[in-house]
Structure 1
Amino acid sequence: MLFNFKKSNQLSSILAPSLPMLLFGVLCAVLAGVSGLLAIWCIIQLIGGKDSAHWLIFASLCWCVSALLFALSAWISHFSEAQFSEKLRHKVASHLTRLPAYQLANYKSDNLKRLLGDDITAMHHLIAHLPTEVANLLILPCLTVAFLLVETRLIALVVLLPGLIAAICYLVIIPKLTAKQQIERFDVMAEITTSLNEYSNGITTYRTYITNSGPLNQFKHATTHFIKNISSRIKRVSGVVAFATSMLQAVATFTIAYSVGKSWPIEELASLLFFSLAIVTPALKLGHGLDYVRAGNAAAKRIEDFLQTPAIPFGQKTNLVTGSGSLIVEQLSLQITTKMMKQNINFAVSSGTLLAISGVSGIGKSSLLRALSGFEPSYKGRILYQGEDCSSLSEQAWSRLALLLPQQLPVLDASVKENLALTQPNTTDEHYNNALEQAQLPISLSRSASLLSGGEKQRLHLARVFLSKAKVILLDEPTSALDKETAMRCMKQLKNYAQTQQKIIIMVTHDHTLAAQANEHLYMTKNTLCGEKL
């Protein structure tokens, strides 16, 4: 495995299928380098006065083979990396959807962007380019030194001195100077992005801030900090980089090589000059290579830590019991934020019932809905549907059993019809229109959902309820953006839908007037859940 990959169980398993092709790519890169060295050797024979036509043709063939092998190596490495990246993105996205809400809260927009974008891009550089770099920076220089010793003398090794000095600078000195600043630079960029987003999202409001406070001032502070950080890095690192780069230039190697071999026969001198340059040339990429190796290893650690985050456990059962039945919750306790609340939730609700749940804010009403939909693990107790423990259900079976519409759910930037198709893709326009009418939203199916008002978007989601085949419908404050009259009409439609279609509808609401219209009303308190049938 590559570097930290040997400690990364998830990444290792994803990379494993691509390893044979990656190793083949390294082999092609090595063979390409060897072909290039043979071409140089042929040119040296040509300079030595041997049959010009023979050696020139042979050199040309070696260069062509070298070019083809390098191209093949690059294609294989990038193709293998593309397969790895596809699997990794799917794995990360899949794991993201299975995280409990309290874990998901740790991955805000900047962290998600870094995880799904920047970190996987860093992995691209590490996997697609590193195998070739290993061949160029380790294997080929060793082979070149062997050619050099065979064709010249032991003292020729003195031409390696500039490269060794540069390697010490790149491998030891520069990493120590830049390691701390890598973290500082990312933190400053995150501060700039966050403050800019906050200001742009509420620019009218933030104009009222005094000049020395608010997101705009934070943005100015972050940019000033960024400029100082870059200036400090240049001052500390530029001198060392310039010295190391100068050591890798051909003129430094040629000067030493000519000083050593100027009195040698022309064939030996040509070997000394050409092979010494062949040793140094790959090292010109050394600094860049180390940069993305460090970045790739850091990205691999962050991705591995994310994939090791405990996800919601699912069972193996894929089939649901047919027919209508009851949903029973026994001694259920949920985790809210990082602590488990011992709520001991107990209730039962049968098909054809609209159940309203209310209680003070923060008591766990939304967490309960997520648990009932399979989006939140329960740490104590059981959820039973028709007598079967739902913990045995697979993720797909959970999605068929329950539909959750959380509070402030956004709409797709698409038509009303395309949004409704999320719930029921294979149905008629008449069916869609009927669902909109039941949700008190008689609008055109071709209308853009993103242009709807807050109340209209909420009713658009309610329309999905009347299209769903799920047996249990879970609604979190589904009428909070509606006026009282419209909310009451929607409530009547939901109640009628539950009765006629034998659905179980569980709705969280703070509106006691709406709760009074439900078939049953449950009120959550700190330690218990009390139920009152109305």
Structure 2
Amino acid sequence: MYAIEVEKLTKIYGKGETAVTAIADASFQVKPGELVAILGPSGSGKTTLLTSIGLINEPTHGTVVIDGATVADEGWITGIDLKRLRREKLGFIFQHHNLIPFLTALENVMVALEINNLSGQEAKSRATELLESLNLGHRLNNYPTALSGGEAQRVAIARALANKPKVILADEPTAALDTENGKNVMSLLKSLAVENHSAILVVTHDHRMVEGFDRIFQVSDGRITGEENSDYNN
């Protein structure tokens, strides 16, 4: 079974003469354990594609299947609890870490667990384990302002992984990082895809950041224009 299936996904803003097609007829699949990049310049429709798959931006046409559940078919499927699916099936990593500034690194991860009704010592243990696995055990009680950019992004990754999602969606996760930290984050995502058997879809405009990816989809003007294997695929 694929973790992500997209068939002829299209997103159109506006109507008539003012209509703008942000994504047109996008079709692809991502397997569990696979790291896939959506690569293209700013304004090419990458983020719209990601948010449509992530159940945030309703597609105009096309089909979206997440972990075997059809969630969109010419629009959202009536009766599906999209919020619950986002909580239970999806993990998001954004361009900026978006950590809650008045919570520690540990508390930022625990919040994601508490939303899914895991609290107390169990949530604390799970959050601590995740942060330690990302070499942040010494930063558990630090607030975001005390973290480096790379550390804050790793906390955000821990938060995205907290509920063991089948699908992780990352929107320009290295844009705010220098090249070394950016490559470290991408390498970490590759390891997590394999270890957790999660499908990870990463939007980026930076060719330098796709070393080790399983596949790369090129996007231009709202269309997937090609697919390639990474030259650096291991």
TM value normalised by structure 1: 0.37
- Report the Cα distance in structure 2 between the residues aligned to 1:461 and 1:408, rounded to whole angstroms: 9
1: CA distance, partners of 2:23 / 2:105: 42
- Provide closer, same or farther for how the CA distance between residues 468 and 494 of structure 1 changes in structure 2, counting only shifts above 3 A: farther
- Alpha-carbon distance in 2 for matches of 1:407, 1:429: 26
Q: Quick one: which of 17, 20, 26 aligns to 1:345?
A: 26
Corresponding residue number in structure 2 for 1:533: 229
Q: Judge conservation of contact 2:98–2:156 (CA < 8 Å) in 1.
A: no
**Counterpart amino acid of 1:473?**
I
Q: Is 2:162 the counterpart of 1:462?
A: no
Aligned residues of 1:347 and 1:531 also touching (Cα < 8 A) = no
Q: Distance in 2 between matches of 1:419 and 1:381?
A: 35
Go from structure 1 to structure 2 and tell me whether the alpha carbon gap of 1:372 and 1:334 turns closer, same or farther (over 3 Å shift): same
Instruction: Give the percent of matched residue pairs that are identical in Structure 1 and Structure 2.
Output: 27
Structure 2 CA distance for aligned equivalents of residues 491 and 415 of structure 1? 24
Q: What residue number does 1:375 align with?
A: 56
User: How far 1:355 moved relative to its partner?
Assistant: 0.8
Query: What is the distance in 2 between the residues matched to 1:526 and 1:363?
Result: 5
Give the corresponding residue for 1:417: 106
Partner of 1:334 in structure 2? 11
Q: From 71, 81, 88, give the equivalent of 1:394.
A: 81
Paired residue type of 1:384: V
Residue 508 of structure 1 is matched in structure 2 by: 203
Task: Note the C-alpha offset of 1:420.
Answer: 0.6
1:435/1:387 CA distance change after superposition, 3 Å:
closer
- Are the structure 2 counterparts of residues 527 and 445 from structure 1 closer, same or farther at C-alpha, using a change threshold of 3 Å? closer
What are the ranges of 5 or more consecutive residues in structure 1 without an aligned counterpart?
1-323
Aligned partners of 1:409 and 1:328: how far apart in 2? 27
RMSD: 2.4
Name the structure where strand makes up a greater proportion of residues. Answer: 2
CA distance change for structure 1 residues 504 and 381 in 2, over 3 Å: closer, same or farther?
same
- Report the secondary structure of 1:479's partner residue: coil
Q: Which has the higher contact order (CA 8 A, sep 6+)?
A: 2
1:356 pairs with 2:37 = yes
CA distance in 2, matches of 1:336, 1:421: 37
The separation in 2 between residues aligned to 1:443 and 1:422, in whole angstroms, is 19
Q: Distance in 1 between matches of 2:179 and 2:227?
A: 25
2:184 is equivalent to residue 489 of structure 1: yes
More helix by share: 1
Structure 2 contact 88–163 (Cα < 8 Å) conserved: no
Larger radius of gyration: 1
Q: 1:266 is matched with which residue? A: none
Aligned residues of 2:40 and 2:220 also touching (Cα < 8 A): yes
User: SS in structure 2 opposite 1:424?
Assistant: helix
Q: What is the alpha-carbon distance in structure 2 between the residues aligned to residue 510 and residue 440 of structure 1? A: 27
TM-score, normalised on structure 2? 0.78
CA deviation map 1:74-95 (0-9, x unaligned): xxxxxxxxxxxxxxxxxxxxxx
| Aligned residues of 1:326 and 1:351 also touching (Cα < 8 A) | yes
Q: Is the 8 A contact 1:358 1:510 kept in 2?
A: yes
2: CA distance, partners of 1:446 / 1:336 = 44
Residues 468/388 of structure 1: CA separation in 2 closer, same or farther (3 Å cut): closer
| Structure 2 CA distance for aligned equivalents of residues 517 and 524 of structure 1 | 19
Structure 2: runs of 5 or more not aligned:
none
